[in-house]
Chains A and B, each alone.
Chain A
Amino acid sequence: MSQVREPAFDRIVALVLRVGAFGCFFIMLTGLLVGLFLPGRIPLAIERAGVLLMLATPVVRVLVTGVLFLREKDWKYGAISFGVLTILLLSAVFGIGEH
């Protein structure tokens, strides 16, 4: 099974990662540049948006991959993808408030 590679499949997953990486880069850069002229909360909010988009990118990548597997009726790997997604979502639930 592992050798079977659907070119469009790889391209879509690559696109998700590229949009995430470049998007974050430009958002964070904007935050830094705004910070040069306008100190305070606004640049920090922009930078925070960049960080959050970066944290979300792998989650979206797993979700998209899972949906692509299901569309190919590849139930086994669809289930594995949603298993990984569950772990990622649980890590958000259990990360609260410890020191």
Chain B
Amino acid sequence: MLSALLVLLGFFAGLLGAMTGIGGGIILSPILALHFGIPIRQAIGTSLVAVITTSAASSSVHLQRHTTDIRLGMTLELATAFGAAVTAYLVGYFNRNLLEGLFAGFLLYSSVTILLRGGKVKSEDQEELPAQNNGETVIPPYEPKRYPLGLGASLVAGGLSGLLGIGGGPIKVPVMYIFMGIPLMVATATSNFMIGVTAAASAIVYYRRGDILVEIAAPLAVGVFLGSLLGARLAPRIQTKYVVYLLVAIMLYLAGHLFVHLLAGGAA
């Protein structure tokens, strides 16, 4: 029952992703590559479908709370979609070892960054509690600043998304928050909103190249959808710090496994 296993894997990744805000997409592709014997490029294309599903479901919730800046998101999407489409196209010319090496490096870098921050992925969230007015979220007035910098960072985030099949939130959110002067709540919602279009720009390229395996993508997306629904409900009630450490442990294991795979002549 390969499909049942994939639904479970998706559920687990979606659950961890929604509870930590890290995005389960980062562990899906290496697990598909290492444990299901799927070539890394097709693993990336396939998990992009799950990334779009999560973004669509979660950003529809943010939109209803009116915390998404659609104008800002659309402007930055010019850069993320372009970057994602270009790298997705270039990946067609990458060999498997290069892609696995890049992925392992990115997993290692992300793990170390999270550990250096003491596992507090969402630390700023707690500092900036949104004001409530009759149950409506009140957002302080702001004006986006430094658009060139924001567009540059979005180009990089989009490029990484097309290359590795991830959302790129960890790049966009801090840039919007720190450099563009966007309230954190709006930056998070807007980044989430952009992920769907960014992932679609690269997923379309992967699909046309035959790098999305439909029989894998469907059970995976079903699992991720259910897992992220549950995770979003559980997130406020549990200590997410330990879940973050669990996710980091999985990321470090996958990075190590990818390196070993490479050294052992990953072409096998």
Contacts and interface: CB of A to CB of B under 8 A. Distances in A.
Interface of A: 1-3, 5, 7, 9-11, 13-15, 17-18, 20-22, 24-25, 28-29, 31-32, 35, 44, 47-48, 50-51, 54-55, 57-59, 61-62, 65, 77, 80-81, 83-84, 87-88, 90-92, 94-99
Interface in B190-208: 196-197, 199-208
24 contacts: A2-B71, A7-B66, A13-B70, A14-B61, A14-B63, A20-B56, A21-B57, A44-B214, A47-B215, A50-B218, A51-B207, A55-B204, A58-B199, A62-B77, A80-B75, A84-B77, A87-B78, A87-B82, A87-B201, A88-B201, A95-B205, A96-B208, A97-B209, A98-B93
Interface residues of B, number: 58
Contact of B197 (A15, A24, A58, A77): A58
B110 interface: no
Interface in B1-55: 3, 7, 49, 52-53, 55
Contacts, number: 168
Interface of B: 3, 7, 49, 52-53, 55-57, 59-61, 63-64, 66, 68-72, 74-75, 77-78, 81-82, 84-85, 88-89, 92-93, 139, 141-144, 196-197, 199-209, 212, 214-215, 217-219, 221-222, 225
Given A3-B141, A14-B63, A28-B222, A55 B81 contact: no
Where chain B touches its partner, the secondary structure class is helix
